[in-house]
Structure 1
Amino acid sequence: MGTFRKARADAPAGFFETEAAGLRWLDVVGGPRVARVLGTGPTHLDLERIGSAAPTRAAARDLGRRLATMHDAGAPAFGVLAPGARRGFFGPLDDPLVLVDGAFDDWPTFYAQARLRPVVEQGRDRGVLDRDDAAAVDAVCARLGALAGPAEPPSRLHGDLWSGNVMWTRAAAPDAGGSAGDDGGDEPDGVAAVLVDPAAHGGHREADLAMLALFGAPHLEVILAAYDETHPLAPGWRDRVDLHQLYPLAVHAVLFGGGYVDQVRRLLESLAHR
């Protein structure tokens, strides 16, 4: 097994330790395979090197089932980080945004206080968002109770599950070791998904699925159907996809500006009057 090293000399304190803790926390029996942590320090993280393979429908179906199992492993509260994590981060290695963490009793409160209001302030600090954007976020936050759908317990989330953080590889042989996700489950064509680069926390399971849809994922409808068969999603979940995409889109607006800012503003306007 080869080693892949992520490194940044000036990484924020706790950045790599938090990523390692998240990977270990997501590694549950019956859940997806996650990149195995080989070592970590203040300026680096060593992971198993993962070979690439073409995604297949069978592997996508397997991923959907396993994501439901991972989510069902649960979390103590909304907003909690993985055990051993020092501080939450979201975004690229060269410019991650700090996440607000804590223990929130319900998802609307968590989303408002730990995601939407903080990210608009980060945008204002960078001169990307303005006072009107903050007011629009407040209007959406005031409606989260009505927008959120049925209450659910906190799930164990990857937290940044866009398609780039799902790698596809040849499934490990049964005697080759592996993560807890390698539980002998059926991978009929020998391909499996591997999760990398988490922003792991206790959150709403629809958020991970919305992230998969944000920039498109291979065989997305297969993944979603298998997930729904394993742990049915609440009625109206498709109508809430853009609500869960609001935060990652706002992060992209803060980090990259441009069309993401307009996209966030249009989404805020839609949600405020939905």
Structure 2
Amino acid sequence: MSARAAAERLTAERVANIRQLGGSLFEVALQDGRTAVAKRGSRPNDVVAEAAGLRWLGESGDVPIPAVLGADDEWLVSEYVRPGPATVRAAEAFGRGLARLHLRGAPAYGSPPPGGPADASMGLTPMRNEPCPDWPTFFGAHRIAPYVRMAADQGRYSARQIAVFDEVRDRLPELAGPPEPPARLHGDTWSGNIHWGHDGQVWLIDPAAHGGHRETDLAVLAVFGLPHLERVLGAYAEEAEAAGAPLAPGWRDRTELHQLHFLLVHAVLFGGGYAGQALAAAQKTLRAG
């Protein structure tokens, strides 16, 4: 089905104009004056997982999330948000809202959003959302091991390098910091998914939502850099403390640990320097622990 036909069927509105933004992403002007984004899934369950994640993250209103206008097994049509400048005010409001969103919680570490599939994806890699009793069990089994195995099968890592990741997995209970309840996570907070809107707010887009550790979302914010990152983190920490759930001591020292999954996904997809970055993050995590 074409993007035009999908948008018209899922929104029950005629399309006035459509523009391809790249690949399977389209900007759609609807006859009623709304502007939407139509996105075609690239893997099974992509659309179902993303739509469920957007709804779950957006139900509280803590952080602006594009509304789902329609979805099926192939196409997602969501609200379009015009881009705007990155401001300190928006950054601080985002940090406070993200803290509140995380504290909405999740049923378990690894739990998918309500209505979301267990077998989801991040980018073009599979991602398993399987409820686990604690974060070390979940992160080791579903966010480190599968991607190290995929990267090793591609020839990215030697047996000695694989052993470094195995040691991280074995030591996760001591490396993870104090236990805390599972957070309601966006799951893929690199800077491209932090959308600075024309309305002066920061919007979260393209989630890989699940029940996870809030330090993971914070760590991934820093991978490629984010405007006003320290303002975001400072406002987050203040809001979390005011809510009676301060970040655990040493959370900044665990940044590389919480970046591991994101870096391993990129190692699988792109190889090159990402494999080295993931290995360096694992080694630094072991030294810090």
Q: TM-score, normalised by structure 2?
A: 0.83
Deviation readout 1:147-202 (Å, 9 max, x if unpaired)? 1111110000000011110111133xxxxxxxxxxxxxxxxxxx001110000000
User: What residue identity is the alignment partner of 1:238?
Assistant: R
Q: Distance in 2 between matches of 1:30 and 1:101?
A: 24
Aligned equivalent of 1:161, options 166, 171, 189: 189
Q: Are the counterparts in 2 of residues 108 and 144 from structure 1 also a CA contact under 8 Å?
A: yes
Matches within 5 A, 1:64-83: 64-83=95-114
Of 259-268 and 62-71, the range deviating more from structure 2: 259-268
Q: Are the counterparts in 1 of residues 54 and 207 from structure 2 also a CA contact under 8 Å?
A: yes
Residue matched to 1:209: 218
Residue matched to 2:81: 50
Q: Distance in 1 between matches of 2:121 and 2:92?
A: 27
Runs ≥4 residues deviating over 4 A: none
User: What residue identity is the alignment partner of 2:232?
Assistant: I
Higher relative contact order (CA 8 A, sep 6+): 1
Q: Are the counterparts in 2 of residues 117 and 134 from structure 1 also a CA contact under 8 Å?
A: no
**Percent identical across equivalent pairs?**
45
Residue matched to 2:62: 31
User: What residue identity is the alignment partner of 2:192?
Assistant: G
Residue matched to 1:3: 36
Q: Distance in 2 between matches of 1:163 and 1:42?
A: 27
Shift in Å at residue 57 of structure 1?
0.5
Q: Which has the larger radius of gyration?
A: 2
Q: Are the counterparts in 2 of residues 14 and 87 from structure 1 also a CA contact under 8 Å?
A: no
Residue matched to 2:17: none
Shift in Å at residue 30 of structure 1?
4.2
Task: Give the match's secondary structure for 2:197.
Answer: strand
Shift in Å at residue 144 of structure 1?
1.0
Q: Distance in 2 between matches of 1:167 and 1:12?
A: 24
* CA separation of 1:4 and 1:257: change in aligned 2, threshold 3 A: same
Q: Distance in 2 between matches of 1:146 and 1:251?
A: 24
Q: Distance in 2 between matches of 1:129 and 1:40?
A: 39
Residue 249 (structure 2) pairs with residue 235 (structure 1): yes
Shift in Å at residue 88 of structure 1?
4.2
Residue 246 (structure 2) pairs with residue 218 (structure 1): no
How many residue pairs get aligned? The number is 250
Q: Distance in 2 between matches of 1:226 and 1:64?
A: 5
Aligned equivalent of 2:271, options 257, 265, 270: 257
User: What residue identity is the alignment partner of 1:121?
Assistant: R
Q: Are the counterparts in 2 of residues 75 and 154 from structure 1 also a CA contact under 8 Å?
A: yes
Shift in Å at residue 137 of structure 1?
1.2
Residue matched to 1:188: none
- C-alpha RMSD of matched pairs (Å): 1.4
Where does the alignment leave 5 or more consecutive residues of structure 1 unmatched? 172-190
Where does the alignment leave 5 or more consecutive residues of structure 2 unmatched? 1-33, 241-245
Q: Distance in 1 between matches of 2:75 and 2:128?
A: 23
Q: TM-score, normalised by structure 1?
A: 0.87
Q: Distance in 2 between matches of 1:164 and 1:152?
A: 28
Task: Give the match's secondary structure for 1:34.
Answer: coil
